[in-house]
A and B are shown apart, each in its own frame.
Chain A
Amino acid sequence: MTTVIPFGPQHPVLPEPVQLKLELDNDVVVGALPSLGYVHRGLEKFVDTKDYNQTLYICERICGICSAIHSITYARAVEQLMNVEIPERAEYLRVIWSELARVQSHLLWLGLFADGFGFESLFMECWKYREAVMDIMEMTTGNRVITSMCKVGGTSKDLSKEHINIILKAIDDLEPQVKNLEKVFVNNYTVKKRLVGLGTLPKQLAYDVGAVGPTLRGSGVHFDIRESPSWSIYKDLNFKAVVENDGDCYARTKVRIYELYECFKLIRNAISKLPEGEISIQIKGSPTAGAEAISRSEQPRGEVVYYVKGNGTKNLERLKIRTPTFANIPALLQMLPGIKLADVPVVVLTVDPCISCTER
């Protein structure tokens, strides 16, 4: 006989409200069903009344952690819709801020994850290092979380030589600290005991259920939108996707740890190649009626998809956003059956759930 218990919506390991109805046979999960709707704000409806420039600031507020890449992906969709090419410097600046955002997001997640399996001091170390990135965000954009550095047509902020020197110094300091974190997350006996072989998602299943980001790459699938032809700038910056093959919680953790080094490399390379010039162009007019565009980016949690359609006015006919956690929920439901109730928080955390994104 099975029992159904609620996991969430309020739970110590969940920063945001979501509920899983867990079907248990003794203390082993045999089924799970998500229950959403606690933070649904109807943002796709809300933008009906906003013009395409205002909509960018709404997209930016879908989520605090992935804010920067939301605005960039939206801006790229509208630029595609209006056949606009932005200045090269703006492309590089967007990459620098995107990768800084990924670093802070991964460090935030590593901290929450450590907290999830009861390693409080590790949690505090991760968040302490994250502060260095948050300080850079504040210094370069004026804000820690909602940076508003992006606009349709380029960026609204630039980096001075002084900013660049501070960023380079900060990531030079941060890299050895991440190496210390890596030693604990990857080599520590207790951490490995908690993660290895847990919540395994086989490669083919991960692909079939539409998983994205570290959840997909942790299962051995080589898929990172930064490698796609639409993001050719990343090829110039020598980007290589991080892939692990085991598909368990340990593999997903390693993907995020190793991605931090990739972020540092990308930031350094983008700074070394940062061209001089304008940071934005002025855009006039409105998207043509019936024109459509799809834009995709790699957020810290995986691929985000933006669809926009114009109607001949400043307002969009339709904005549709498919966020990474939305794509990872079916994968999570596949990971849970067969594990013990005590391991559910750890497995849930390894998809790095962002519920504000999911529900919009």
Chain B
Amino acid sequence: MLENNVEIKSSSELLKTVQELKNDGYRYATMICLKANDGHEFIYVLDKDYVLKTLRYFVKPSENPKSMSGIYLCALLIENEYQDLFGLVFEDLAIDFKGHLYLTPNSPKTPLA
């Protein structure tokens, strides 16, 4: 288990928590996507003064996750990457490459899904 880990139950709680952490001076380090129980598990990794905080959120199979790019613009690239690799569809993505950030129309579809 990662240190400073917080379990998040809903997408509204996730957005609220991320916004609060940004206001508190945290920077967005990265986001990790894992396959979990037919859905996906996201781990948001944020940093302040070299100490990491991780937020863990389970995305249900039928759920379209909310984009964090409205809070941290830099989230848009990693979210687009996961659209390519896992076939996810993020809502409210600042710039949406629609599954073609890396992959061309002839590439393997959602290789990490």
Contacts and interface: CB of A to CB of B under 8 A. Distances in A.
A235 B104 CA distance: 46
Contacts of B33: 320
A228 B73 CA distance: 25
Given A45-B111, A320-B30, A359 B77 contact: no
Given A318-B32, A327-B74, A292 B2 contact: yes
B73 A209 contact: yes
B30 A322 contact: yes
Given A292-B2, A322-B29, A37 B100 contact: yes
Interface in B1-43: 1-2, 22, 27-30, 32-34, 43
Contacts of B76: 330
A11 B43 CA distance: 37
Contacts of A293: 2
A181 B54 CA distance: 43
A44 interface: yes
A294 B45 contact: yes
A210 B48 CA distance: 12
B102 A229 contact: no
B29 A40 contact: no
B78 A37 contact: no
B30 A209 contact: no
B101 interface: yes
Interface in A69-117: none
Contact of A307 (B32, B73, B100, B103): B32
Contacts of A320: 30, 32-33
Interface in B70-93: 72-74, 76-78, 85
Contacts of B2: 292-294
A122 B67 CA distance: 45
A86 B32 CA distance: 27
B76 to A, nearest CB: 7
B73 A326 contact: no
Contacts of A296: 29
Contacts, number: 71
Nearest to B35: A318
A234 to B, nearest CB: 12
A45 B95 CA distance: 25
Contacts of B74: 209-210, 327, 330-331
A229 B52 CA distance: 11
Contacts of A45: 85, 111-112
A314 B28 CA distance: 31
Contacts of A217: none
A229 B45 contact: no
Nearest to A228: B50
A322 B78 contact: yes
A330 B45 CA distance: 17
A305 B77 contact: no
A309 B34 contact: yes
B101 A305 contact: no
Given A305-B30, A320-B32, A210 B72 contact: yes
Interface in A291-328: 292-294, 296, 303, 305, 307, 309, 317-318, 320, 322, 326-327
B32 A33 contact: no
A329 B50 contact: no
A208 B73 contact: yes
B30 A36 contact: no
A335 interface: no
A210 B29 contact: yes
Contacts of B28: 210
Q: Which of A33, A309, A322 has the most CB of B within 10 A?
A: A322
Nearest to A359: B102
B106 to A, nearest CB: 12
22 contacts: A37-B101, A40-B102, A44-B85, A44-B112, A45-B85, A45-B111, A45-B112, A208-B73, A209-B74, A210-B28, A210-B29, A294-B52, A317-B34, A318-B32, A320-B33, A326-B77, A327-B30, A330-B73, A330-B74, A330-B76, A331-B74, A359-B102
